[in-house]
Each structure stands twice: as structure tokens, then as C-alpha cells.
Amino acid sequence: MTHSTVPPDTSVLVVGAGPTGLTLAIVLARAGVAVRVVEKAPEFHRESRGKGLNQRGREIFEDLGVGEEATASGIEHITLRKYRGGVPVSDYVTFGDDVPTADRPYASGLIIPQWRTEEILRGRLARLGVEVELGAELTGFVQDEHGVTATLADGRRVRAERLVGCDGGRGSVRKLLGLSFEGTTEAEECMVIGDVRADGLDPSYWHQWFDEDGGIMLCPFSGSDHWQLQAAPERDVDGAVLPPSQESFQRIFDRHARVPGVRLTDVRWASVYRINVRMADRFRVGRVLLAGDAAHVHSIAGGLGMNTGIQDAFNLGWKLALVHRGEAAEPLLDTYEEERLPVAAWTLRLTDERLGAVREGVRRAGVGTEAVVTEDTTTLRVGYPWSSLAWGGPGAGERAGGVRRGEGGPWFTLHGPGGPEVRQLAEKYGTLLRIQEDPAARDLLLVRPDHHIALRVPPSGAGEVARRLDGLNVGPSGG
């Protein structure tokens, strides 16, 4: 690394304005950390892309202050209507038997187009005083012991203390770092995907038609005339995939749905999706970090791509915020890769397994897509028991159930019986710690800013809480 004394333009430069980058920027901005978000696209897209926010994602959105807005824009407990030979054979309501509880405030995921998810997050970010900078493509960067100097395609330079690549699987940040992206691409197995109007189709259902030689699915969205289409592609005589178009979408629909009165029109987006299963070997190189698809990509089975990126950002965001506010030392950032890299590897395995279950179900009876809907895909059980931030006691590292959530920030929350020692902690740690007294509680439960348990100790354990919080601000040399 070289030495530079150029003052920073911002504390954190976020590259990419998808759900991952926007989530990270919100967490930083609300903590008072200066952040800029650059996006190479010249305008905001209107594509449905990642269309599902799972239960854990909804908890995070509640914390970000956009939970109600997302719920009002989405569909809960969507019904999957399955067809074989054009005839309905079953209806399956996702998480139909689940109800909200204190431990699980969201009984269902949410069907919501990605463009709307991003619109909601951009609105929240704007209320915090940060606007996305469009048409700003990163072409290079150099880092030194004090920060990162990024170069944009128009020649501008941005000096930041840190840079986070949230620019997707094909983005430039990982490539500029020279990191590997090991895995596989299934070139032959693919699907066509797009956003279409399907007037005359009942929007109460996610329609899924399957036959021995292919199939097509149409998913509705609340408040929108467009549906997301997913289908097996048309191929030429040599087996090559034909490019998607309104005409090809209609031919595929007519072949499998057999509903003559429905015409697919107004194609707003069309693409060919090939399954990539890849992961970077590192999520951090010095002052540059990766999150979301820039760090890992996988099958869409289970709808975990966008959700995993959001959860990466939520994990990283509070750690960056505490370090940049001077409330924690640099080693805290090492726990981001420590915690999220194993989760990414697990996600790759899970989505591959779920994709196999779907294939088998469709092959047998054409009713297998519900195989993606499992307890695992809620990601409510994702925890970090191996983490150096799992400080002890039952459940350390796991998601804290039954604790009050809401619009949060980069503070730890201590739940449990009060008392003089607990009140002294509140005075000592200021913005780093909030107290929620519960005289009926048996233990002191220290919960991280991202809702995971850091420590569980008896009521007499206030000293251990203090020791652990003090340790956040201890660097490698011990001071």
C-alpha cells in the first residue's frame, strides 16, 4: 500500500445501488456515517428480478423503518396454483399454517418486485439525506493505509476511507481486487424470464403450468399490471436457446397453459437466466469489502439471492458504523467475513439442494415448486455460533427471538432485570448500549445491533457485559 494524505470525500463509498448497496447505505447514514452510493446504470430499472422478501428480510426492513411500506406493496401467503396438461391439479398456500408470534413477527414472506423494493429503500435513504449517483461507473481504485481512491468512468475521483462492492456478480470491484470466483455455470440448463401483462389471468394466484416437455409460471404483483414470467426456453433445431420475445412468450404460454383468451403483451423486461453457483474466497481485502452477489451467486431456488445480500449488508453495516464512529476498533470488521462467508457457502448448498427437489417434483407430477418453501428459506435460523462475537451463554450467536424490534441503529440492547449496575452500564456506554428492563427476566441478554445474541449471563453479570463491550474498542496491540 502507498501512503496518501488526501482528505476523504466520504467515509464509505458504496458501489452499486441494488438492495444490498441501499441497505448498507441506510444503516450507515442513519448512524451519522458519511456515505456515497454510485451506480453505473444511467437510470433506475423497472424489472421484477428478485421478487421475494423472506421473513428475516422483513425483520430487517422493519428495523430500517420501511417494514410497513414494504408490506403495503407486497403479497403475503401467496397461493401457488399448479396445472398439468393445462388443468388445475392443486393449490398450495405458502406458509399457510403459520401465524405471527412474538418470536416470528412475520408469518410469511412477501412477493414484491425488486424495482419496488429498491424504490422503497431509495426513499428511505433520501429521507436520510443521501441520493444515489446514477451514471457513475467505477473503473478503478487504489488503496493505502488511510483510505481508497476510486476512479469513475468520467474521470472523477472519489476519496473514501472504505469502499464496498455491492455491484453484483459481474461487477468490477471483485475483479479489480483480483479475487477468485470459484464455482460452476450451467450453460445448457436455463430459463427465460421477463415482465409481461397477462390481462384476463386471475391475479389471486401464482400460476404454474408444467408438462413433460417444459412449463411456464406467471407470478402477480400487488398494484401492478405486470407479472413475472419464468419458463423453459424455446430452442432451435440444434438445441440452442432462442432469444426471449413477446412472440416466444406467447407460444410457450399457449403450449402449456392452453388458455386461449389470455394474450401476453407489453413486455417490459426479457432475459435468459443461467444458473451460476460461485463464491469469492474472501469478502475483504484491506479497506475494500464485498457484499451480496459481488461476493456470491447461486440458484434462484428459494429466492435467497436478494435476501442474502440484504443480510450481508445488515451484518456489515453496523460494524462499519461503530468503527467509523470510533466506538469499535478495526478488528470488528474481520467478523464480517468470519460470519458471512460460511453463511454464503451454506446458501449455495441449500439453493442447489432445493433446485434438485423442485426438478424431481416437477418431473414426477408437475407440482414440485413448493419444495423451495422450507423453514431454511425463511433464514430465521441463520446464526453465528462459531463467531468471535458469540461471547457466551445459551444461544450465543443465534438470532434473538421474542425481543422487541423496530427502527434501530448501531447499538447493543441489554434485556433483563434492571438495577444499579445495569443503569451504570447505560451511563458508561452512551450511544453504544440501550437498556430494556424486564423485571420478570431471569438473565441479562445482550443483543447485537443485527438482532443476534452476543451474550447471556445471570443478573449479576453486568461486569461481563462491560468487559465485552470494552473489548470492542481494543485494537490488535491491546489498546
* Separation of alpha carbons 120 and 66, rounded Å: 7
The pLDDT of residue 362 is 53
Q: What is the mean pLDDT of the chain?
A: 91
Order of strands across the sheet that contains 433-437: 433-437, 412-416, 444-447, 453-457
Flag whether pLDDT at 285 surpasses 60: yes
- pLDDT single digits (tens) 323-339: 999 999 999 999 999 99
Region of 281 on the Ramachandran plot (φ > 0 left; ψ -120 to 50 alpha; else beta): alpha
**Residue 472: half-sphere exposure toward Cβ, Cα within 13 Å:** 27
* Separation of alpha carbons 242 and 232, rounded Å: 11
The pLDDT of residue 359 is 54
What is the value of pTM for the model shown? 0.95
- pLDDT single digits (tens) 148-186: 999 999 999 999 999 999 999 999 999 999 999 988 877
Q: In the chain, what is the straight-line distance between the N-terminal and C-terminal CA atoms, in Å?
A: 24
Our CA dihedral for 403, 404, 408, 410, rounded to 10 degrees, sits at -30
pLDDT band at 452 (very low <50, low <70, confident <90, very high): very high
- pLDDT single digits (tens) 20-60: 999 999 999 999 999 999 999 999 999 999 999 999 999 99
Asked whether the beta carbons of 341 and 51 are under 8 A apart, the reply is: no
* Separation of alpha carbons 388 and 148, rounded Å: 27
* Separation of alpha carbons 80 and 92, rounded Å: 5
The residue that leads in pLDDT, 366 or 234, is 234
Helix (H) or strand (E) holding 248: helix 246-256
Asked whether the beta carbons of 74 and 222 are under 8 A apart, the reply is: yes
Q: Got the DSSP string for 35-73?
A: EEEE-SSSS------S-EE-HHHHHHHHHHT-HHHHHHT
The pLDDT of residue 329 is 97
Flag whether pLDDT at 104 surpasses 50: yes
Asked whether the beta carbons of 203 and 222 are under 8 A apart, the reply is: no
Which pairing describes strands 412-416 and 433-437: parallel, antiparallel, or unpaired? parallel
The pLDDT of residue 479 is 42
Flag whether pLDDT at 350 surpasses 80: no
Flag whether pLDDT at 187 surpasses 70: no
The set of residues, in sequence order, having a beta carbon less than 8 Å from that of 161 and lying 6+ positions away, is 8, 10, 11, 12, 146, 147, 148, 287, 324
- pLDDT single digits (tens) 363-372: 555 445 565 6
Our CA dihedral for 26, 31, 34, 35, rounded to 10 degrees, sits at -20
- Mean pLDDT for the stretch of residues 306-318: 96
Backbone angles phi, psi at 345, to 5 degrees: -65, -40
Q: Which of 76, 81, 112 is nearest to 95 (CA)?
A: 76
What are the structural domains of the chain? Answer: 10-45+56-73+112-182+277-378 (3.50.50.60), 384-479 (3.40.30.120)
Q: Which of 419, 454, 404 is nearest to 103 (CA)?
A: 404
Tell me the torsion sign for CA atoms 45, 50, 55, 56.
negative
Tell me the torsion sign for CA atoms 75, 80, 86, 87.
negative
Asked whether the beta carbons of 414 and 444 are under 8 A apart, the reply is: yes
The pLDDT of residue 478 is 45
Neighbours of 60 (CB within 10 A): 24
The pLDDT of residue 328 is 97
Neighbours of 7 (CB within 10 A): 8
Residue 380 is classified by DSSP as T
- pLDDT single digits (tens) 212-223: 888 999 999 999
CA distances in angstroms from 359 to 1, 82, 209, listed in the order given: 49, 14, 14
Which pairing describes strands 226-231 and 214-219: parallel, antiparallel, or unpaired? antiparallel
- pLDDT single digits (tens) 16-30: 999 999 999 999 999
The pLDDT of residue 298 is 77
Flag whether pLDDT at 77 surpasses 90: yes
Flag whether pLDDT at 127 surpasses 70: yes
Asked whether the beta carbons of 193 and 229 are under 8 A apart, the reply is: yes
Please report, rounded to a whole number, the percentage of residues in the chain having pLDDT higher than 70.
91
pLDDT band at 361 (very low <50, low <70, confident <90, very high): low
- Mean pLDDT for the stretch of residues 427-455: 95
Flag whether pLDDT at 477 surpasses 50: no
Q: Grid coordinates standing for 169? A: 456478480
Flag whether pLDDT at 476 surpasses 80: no
* Separation of alpha carbons 22 and 31, rounded Å: 14
* Separation of alpha carbons 299 and 297, rounded Å: 7
Give the CA radius of gyration of the chain.
24
Flag whether pLDDT at 2 surpasses 90: no
Chain centroid, CA 212 distance in Å: 34
